[in-house]
Amino acid sequence: MDALSSASSSPARGRNRRGQGEQLRRDIIDATLRILNELGEDEALSLRAVAREVGIAATSVYIHFADRDALVFAALEECTRDLLRDLDRAESAAGDPVGRLRARLLFLGTWVRDHAGLYKVLHESSLNQRTHLAFKEELAVRTTAAVQRCLDAGLAPADDAATLALDLRAAVHGAVSIRVNEPGLAWPPLQEQIDRFLIKLIGVSLTKE
């Protein structure tokens, strides 16, 4: 994800030329995502630290965001939009509906491994209690649609796709979350766990590659 590329120390930036306000907003969001990924929580985020990362005065952040929660919300919304795009790309590169669902889940596992701090903020931070992160709902919608495609193709026993998707999401999120929070333990390969979830929870058959 471009927003999470390593940042070099930035000199103080000058006054924005006409039309550069949107670029400044983009820079603030990118810096926020980098810092959140390092922190793994939102309450420790400082607007001064974000401004310092971008190379602007702290007051300039308020031109675009009313407060810290508004900034974090916007950053996570952008992050989730990028994740949804990448999940769809991973899914489209696979074969049948089962393969596409599997690719989707495996990509999520890879993303969490590489962005553990952002994952914690998205799903485990107190921001979830203070603010309704409505943009996360699309993740559930698309997972349910992927499960429904397996059912429609006759690749899994007939059932309610929403219920199956909820069980699957709970299992996968549990598997990735425990790896983030207890990285030192000897976990089985995530791919093996995801395959078991698909077989036991969705009822699909998986061919060995």
Containing 190, the helix (H) or strand (E) segment is helix 190-197
CATH topology of domain 2-66: Arc Repressor Mutant, subunit A (1.10.10)
- pTM score, whole prediction: 0.85
pLDDT digit string (tens) for 60-119? 999 999 999 999 999 999 999 999 999 999 999 888 999 999 999 999 999 999 999 999
The amino acid sitting at 127 is: L
Q: What is the pLDDT of residues 171-206, one digit of tens each?
A: 999 999 999 999 899 999 999 999 999 999 999 998
Quick count: other Cβ atoms within 10 Å of Cβ 152? 12
The fourth-level CATH superfamily of domain 69-202 is Tetracycline Repressor, domain 2 (1.10.357.10)
Interacting residues of 198 by C-beta distance below 8 A, sequence separation 6+: 98, 101, 102, 105, 168, 204, 206
Q: Do domains 2-66 and 69-202 have the same CATH topology?
A: no
- Domains of the chain: which residue ranges? 2-66, 69-202
